[in-house]
């Protein structure tokens, strides 16, 4: 966690609903919630913003900004699927962390890079460790 915190420009307490990111006037390109717990998903799907993560997602949605959710549960229960559908209907993009078997991934790191790359593609961010599918012998 310390490594991750060093990369952050700013860190807010989860319970600080007055943080700058909880306002629509604080402009962002959107939000990635990775991993997204089923509790967080439920809050987003129902608009129950009881913490800063859900509030910031709610703000992104009301401002028309992209929200990408990477759910961490497996298998999905019916209520999880219902909440994912509701979040999707509200404009969120659901990106389950599904393993790849078609692009030559051989290690756990390759699998992680694939998932990270798929998430970053949602924002048009290139990731040099991501190996996209280029077709089965086709020229693209």
Q: Give the gyration radius of the chain's Cα atoms.
A: 16
Q: How confident is the model at residue 102 (pLDDT cuts 50, 70, 90)?
A: confident
- How far is residue 107's CA from residue 78's CA, in Å, rounded to a whole number? 32
Helix (H) or strand (E) holding 93: strand 93-94
Chain segment 32-55, per-residue pLDDT in tens: 999 999 999 999 999 999 999 999
- Phi then psi for residue 68, to 5 deg, are -110, 125
Among candidates 69, 58, 66, which has minimal Cα distance to 28?
Answer: 66
Residue 54, Cβ neighbours under 10 Å: how many?
Answer: 24
Q: What are the helix and strand counts (H, E) for the chain?
A: 5, 3
Q: What CATH number has the domain spanning 29-97?
A: 3.40.50.1950
- How far is residue 91's CA from residue 52's CA, in Å, rounded to a whole number? 19
Per domain, the residue ranges of the chain are 29-97, 98-134
pLDDT at residue 12, rounded to an integer: 95
> Mean of the pLDDT values across residues 114-135?
92
* 54: three-class secondary structure by DSSP: helix
């Amino acid at each position: 966690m310390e490594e991750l915190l060093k990369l952050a420009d700013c860190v807010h307490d989860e319970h600080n609903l007055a943080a700058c990111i909880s306002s629509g006037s604080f402009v962002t390109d959107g939000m990635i919630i990775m991993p997204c717990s089923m509790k967080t998903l439920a809050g987003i799907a129902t608009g129950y913003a009881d913490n800063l993560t859900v509030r910031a997602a709610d703000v992104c949605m009301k401002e028309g900004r992209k929200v990408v959710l990477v759910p961490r549960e497996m298998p999905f229960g019916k209520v999880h699927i219902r909440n994912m559908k509701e979040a999707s209907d509200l404009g969120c993009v659901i990106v389950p962390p599904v393993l790849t078997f078609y692009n030559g991934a051989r290690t756990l790191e390759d699998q992680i890079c694939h998932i990270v790359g798929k998430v970053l593609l949602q924002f048009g961010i290139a990731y040099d460790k991501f190996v996209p599918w280029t077709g089965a012998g086709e020229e693209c």
